[in-house]
Structures are given as structure tokens and as C-alpha cells.
Amino acid sequence: MRKAPIARLHDRELPFPRLSLETTGSGVRFWTDAALEAASSVRMGFTERAGGLSSGPYASLNLGRFAGEGEEAARANMRHLMEAAGCAEAALINPQQVHGTRAVMVLDGAPEAIAAADAAAQEGADALVVGVPDVFALLGFADCVPVVMVSPAGAFAVAHAGWRGAHGRIVSKTLGVLADLACAEGAFASRQEAAAACNIYIGPYIHAECFEVSADVHGLFSEEFGRPVCPDASHVDLGAVIRADAVGAGADTRRIADVDACTVCNEDRFFSYRASGGTCGRHGAFVVRK
């Protein structure tokens, strides 16, 4: 049976974003926005590493299929997360992330359409844009920036912003897709207006003091975004990059919320590729509309 598209919400604004930590009965912990869910039925979360099924350097909620522990273990943790979040019946799409800016769109709820979108995501993608209910969009992270975007017109997106994706403006590109969808449906008169109405959530990532980069990488960000994103000659502030990119695309600063946690400094709570020396699991960013 074909599922109906998400109903429009533009007749009422989304509540301004506010993140809080939720701990489920199974011990899974994630940062979420309860007011957003109450207003729109969109459930989003940035997971911590507790409450999963893995051990060793992957302990315990490892959601990375390509992290080294193996796909079977990661998928077991994904099912565990979906059950903990109350979304066990949703269709999971977890792309193969390639540190680029490609987005896969899921705008048809028919099973064959979702399967086709999933197949496209497995060819390599770093963002998912979803316009139908009951699709659990999940990406994995271990220092890169997780970004969730929700439109009051009904669609949502999740993006993986590594330094290449952040420099390539994956956030503004994905936000633009959400805005264009809203305008096409008649929800807003302009892309700027639609982008300004979206909520944007930034998950845990490697903060500037821990993100030392080469002179070449530093120069790329300084040239593209200006000195404000480069606090000194050898570090880059990816959070500042994401905000600058989003605001440049029309985002309202009041609608940007940040977990404000450094993955390197909080390795007990989040996975960090840099802090672990490269052997670790992946925490996740997920969004689903029930």
C-alpha cells in the first residue's frame, strides 16, 4: 500500500529547537527535542555510545556498519536503537557515507520506492532528505558533524559533515533541497522564507581546540568561510562552519540548536576516531516521522 506524503505543517511554526538528553528503559541515550515531536511527530536524536550490544573499542551502541566490528553487529545495534526509540516498524535507510555532499531523496512511501532510495544510498551518500512517514534515516559519526534539519512543510533531512562535506557546503545544499520542496508544495513563497522556518540541530563533533589540521586544509576553510572559522593558524571550528553555511542559506540563528559536546574530550560518551587512534564504533544521528 502506498503511504501518503507527510502532511504540511506550515499553518503553524515549529517550536524553537531545544535539545535534552533522553534515556530509554534499555539504557540507550540520545539527545532529542521533545517539543518538536509533540508538534510534528518528528522524532530525532543524536545517540551516545551507551546502552548497546557491542564490547571492546566498539562498546556499546556501535552503529557503524563499516567501522571494523562488522555489519551484523552494527545492524543488531540499529535494531536495538529503533526499538528503544519506539520506531521498530519503520523502514531503515543507512547510507554508505563517502565524505561528499550527495543527498538521496525519499519522497515516495511505496515499498519499492523506499527500496530504490536505499539502493541509491548504498552507492554513496552523506545526506538523506525524507518526505514520507515511517522512514528511519540514520547516519553514523565519530568526530564529523551530525546535522538534522526539519521543515514545517513536512520533510526532514540528516547530513554527515566531515571536513570535506563541511567545506563543500553540504548543509546549505541540503537545506536548499528542503526549502525547494516546501516552495514546490506552496508552503512558502521563497526559498529564503522556507529555509528560515526550518529547525537545525547540530550533534556532537570534534571541537576546534581538538581539530588540528594541515596548512592546506586550514587554507581551504579560511578562503571559503573567512577567518572567523579559523581560531588560529592550525585549527578549524567545524561548528562555526556549519552555522555560517546554514545562515548563508537563509537559516534563522534562533532555530539552530547544538548539543555542544566535543567527541574527543568526551570519548566515554561518544566515539572519536581521532582520540581512539582510528579503532572505534560510530554513534548516530537519526530522524523519523511517525
Q: Please, where are the H alpha helices in the chain? A: 34-40, 71-84, 111-122, 163-167, 170-184, 191-196, 215-225, 238-248, 273-276
- C-alpha distance across the termini of the chain, in Å: 16
DSSP 44-97: EEEE-S-S-S--GGG-S----TTSSS-HHHHHHHHHHHHHHTT-TTSEEE----
| Cα 80 from Cα 49, distance rounded (Å) | 13
Q: How far, in Å, CA of 212 to CA of 236, rounded?
A: 7
pLDDT score at 154: 87
Helices and strands of the chain, counted as H and E runs? 9, 12
Q: Which sign does the torsion angle of CA 239, 240, 241, 247 carry?
A: positive
- CA atoms of 52 and 245, how far apart (whole Å): 34
What global pTM score does this model have? 0.96
Residue 12 confidence (pLDDT):
64
Q: Measure Cα distances from 111 to 32, 98, 187, 210 in Å.
A: 28, 25, 27, 43
Residue 80, exposed/middle/buried by CB under 10 A (0-12, 13-18, 19+)? buried
d(CA 115, CA 113): 5
- Rg of the chain over all Cα atoms, to the nearest angstrom: 18
Q: CA-CA distance, 113 to 239, in Å (whole number)? A: 34
Q: Which domains does the chain have, with CATH numbers?
A: 20-289 (3.60.140.10)
- What's the CA gap between 49 and 266, in Å, rounded? 11
Tens digit of pLDDT at every position of the chain (290 positions): 343 444 444 456 999 999 999 999 999 999 999 999 999 999 999 999 999 999 999 999 999 999 999 999 999 999 999 999 999 999 999 999 999 999 999 999 999 999 999 999 999 999 999 999 999 999 999 999 999 999 999 899 999 999 999 999 999 999 999 999 999 989 899 999 999 999 999 999 999 999 999 999 999 999 999 999 999 999 999 999 999 999 999 999 999 999 999 999 999 999 999 999 999 999 999 999 99
